[in-house]
């Protein structure tokens, strides 16, 4: 009932960050008698716009730049691959279990926050750490990694802010090539994209063997993050709402 109880707005802006087109229809079509303006869609990634085949302005999810800083180097610990997410069945891909087992067998340490649900699928290992979501802040947890790895199951990321947060910490990111974050990753330059588990393992092996490659790609990842969230870029997005 609320559209009938308020004055007619000058603009109607709908920030939409899911993959459910029926919701767009339900929330943007106001009764004709109200004579409301057409809804202006703000989408969260070009990937989302392509998947939905709708028109709209793209604004990446806001991230507090001051929270994240380039990772501090620590040579005393083993090469560590990790990921950060909520804990749920759709957040983890079934093919990641054998990938994790291969990494552990090759001497790579593995830290997963949001991985408590994997305890029944992975055998205990001295270099495997599984944490519930929220045990550490994102900026604290990401500082303990050398590489950020990310792939989901049936849950499709419209944006994937954890990937951008990892880039903010100067981490090379190795991600499945299907999600909103792909708009910001240039393969081999500021991160890596893969289609298959075999490709992911090859990329991770190359990064493990080459600290210089990790440092170079991680530096470019941070630079990309700074461009996306520069004061000028944020101001331009604010101007859309304030015009």
| 15, β-bridge pairs | 42
Where in the sequence is the domain holding 37, given as residue range(s)?
2-58
**Model confidence pLDDT, tens digit, residues 168-219:** 999 999 999 999 999 999 999 999 999 999 999 999 999 999 999 999 999 9
Q: What is the mean pLDDT of the chain?
A: 93
**Residue 238 is assigned to a structural domain of this protein:** no
My answer on whether 125 and 161 are in the same domain is: yes
Is the pLDDT at 45 greater than 80? The verdict is: yes
CATH of the domain at 138: 3.40.50.2000
Do 84 and 146 belong to one domain? yes
Kindly state whether residue 242 falls inside one of the protein's structural domains.
no
Report yes or no on 236 lying in a domain. Answer: no
Residue 237 lies in a domain: no
Return the number of other C-beta atoms located less than 10 Å from residue 135's C-beta. 11
The answer to whether residues 127 and 191 belong to one domain is yes
Same domain, 144 and 209: yes
Q: Do 91 and 8 have their domain in common?
A: no
Of 58, 74, 94, which residue is a domain's last?
58
Same domain, 44 and 84: no
pTM of this prediction exceeds 0.85:
yes
Over the chain, what HEC string results? CHHHHCCCCCCEEEEECCCCHHHHHHHHCCCHHHCCCCEEEEECCHHHHHHHCCCCEECCCCCCHHHCCCCCCCCCCCCEEEEECCCCHHHCCCCHHHHHHHHHHCCCEEEEECCHHHCCCCCCCCCEEEECCCCCCHHHHHCCCCEEEECCCCCCCCCCHHHHHHHHCCCCEEEECCCHHHHHCCECCCEEEECCHHHHHHHHHHHHHCHHHHHHHHHHHHHHHHHHCCHHHHHHHHHHHHC
For residues 145 and 164, membership in a common domain is answered with yes
Q: How many residues does the chain have?
A: 243
For residue 173, tell me if it sits in a domain: yes
Does 73 have pLDDT greater than 80?
no
Residues 19 and 87 in one domain: no
Each residue of 121-175: pLDDT tens digit?
999 999 999 999 999 999 999 999 999 999 999 999 999 999 999 999 999 999 9
Q: Are residues 54 and 84 in the same domain?
A: no
Residues 45 and 158 in one domain: no
Task: Say how many domains are in the chain.
Answer: 2
């Amino acid at each position: 009932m609320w559209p009938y109880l308020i004055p007619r707005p000058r603009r109607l802006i709908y920030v939409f960050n899911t993959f459910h087109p029926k919701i767009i229809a339900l929330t943007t079509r106001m009764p004709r008698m109200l004579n409301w303006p057409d809804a202006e869609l703000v989408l969260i990634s070009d990937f989302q716009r392509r998947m939905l085949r709708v028109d709209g302005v793209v604004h990446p999810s806001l991230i507090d730049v001051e929270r994240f800083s380039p990772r501090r180097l620590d040579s005393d610990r083993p090469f560590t691959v990790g990921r950060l997410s909520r804990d749920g069945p759709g957040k983890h891909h079934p093919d990641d279990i054998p990938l994790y087992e291969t990494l552990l067998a090759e001497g790579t340490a593995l830290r997963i926050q949001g991985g408590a649900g994997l305890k029944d699928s992975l055998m205990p290992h001295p270099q495997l750490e599984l944490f519930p979501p929220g045990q550490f802040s994102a900026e604290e947890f990401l500082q303990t990694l050398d590489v950020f790895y990310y792939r989901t199951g049936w849950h499709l990321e419209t944006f994937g802010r954890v990937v951008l947060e990892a880039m903010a910490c100067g981490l090379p990111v190795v991600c499945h090539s299907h999600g909103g974050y792909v708009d910001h990753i240039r393969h081999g330059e500021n991160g890596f994209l893969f289609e298959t588990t075999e490709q992911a393992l090859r990329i991770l092996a190359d990064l493990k063997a080459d600290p210089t490659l990790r440092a170079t790609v991680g530096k470019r990842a941070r630079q990309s993050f700074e461009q996306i969230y520069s004061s000028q870029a944020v101001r331009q997005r604010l101007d859309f709402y304030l015009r």
